[in-house]
Amino acid sequence: MAVNTELVGREFPPTPPYLVGREKVREFARAVFADAPQHTDVEAARAAGFDDVVAPPTFAMVVQDLTLQQLLSEPDSGIVLARTIHAEQRFAYTRPIVAGDELTGRLRVTGVRMMAGNAMITSEAEITDGSGAHVVTATSVLLVGEGE
């Protein structure tokens, strides 16, 4: 089954709210070697003007992953996980993510480009906070290899 080019423009329902926990931010910061004190120390974060510890920029992937799971589980997508790699990632922030944020993501497929039987699927996850204000747009490109 080939990747469904009619995925372009498809929007998915908002994800359930994800409460950003202080320890999750600290764990993520350690995992990605983000050693700035505002990622782990509440007082350092407050001294920098934040309410709590600040997540490293790539933390948005935690919420974006929830949206990508919706795409990957679409029965008509033609996406086979075993032949899929994450080819590209970008973030456009309005403000940093901090512990205590309650974030929701909404995915939209913005492009499917076929190349020699392979497909590059571009999607954007708009991530908003509990008040509905934009926090970050996470754009990813998945490369789906040709199948048998």
Nearest to 71 by CA among 146, 147, 138, 148: 138
The answer to the question of residue 67 being in a domain is yes
The answer to the question of residue 49 being in a domain is no
Q: What is the mean pLDDT of residues 122-137?
A: 98
Does residue 113 register a pLDDT over 80? yes
pLDDT band at residue 117 using 50, 70 and 90 as cut-offs:
confident
Report the CATH number at residue 106: 3.10.129.10
Does residue 1 register a pLDDT over 80? no
The answer to the question of residue 122 being in a domain is yes
The answer to the question of residue 102 being in a domain is yes
The answer to the question of residue 106 being in a domain is yes
pLDDT score for 147 = 67
The answer to the question of residue 138 being in a domain is yes
If one counts the domains in the chain, the total is 1
Nearest to 120 by CA among 128, 110, 105, 129: 110
Q: What is the mean pLDDT of residues 72-83?
A: 92
Look at the chain and count its residues.
Answer: 148
The residue range of the domain holding 95 is: 5-20+60-144
Helix (H, G, I), strand (E, B) or coil at 19: strand
pLDDT band at residue 2 using 50, 70 and 90 as cut-offs:
confident
Q: What is the mean pLDDT of residues 49-78?
A: 96
The answer to the question of residue 36 being in a domain is no
The DSSP symbol for 107 reads E
Condensed to tens digits (0 to 9), the pLDDT of residues 17-54 reads: 999 999 999 999 999 999 999 999 999 999 999 999 99
The answer to the question of residue 48 being in a domain is no
Does residue 144 register a pLDDT over 70? yes
pLDDT band at residue 116 using 50, 70 and 90 as cut-offs:
confident
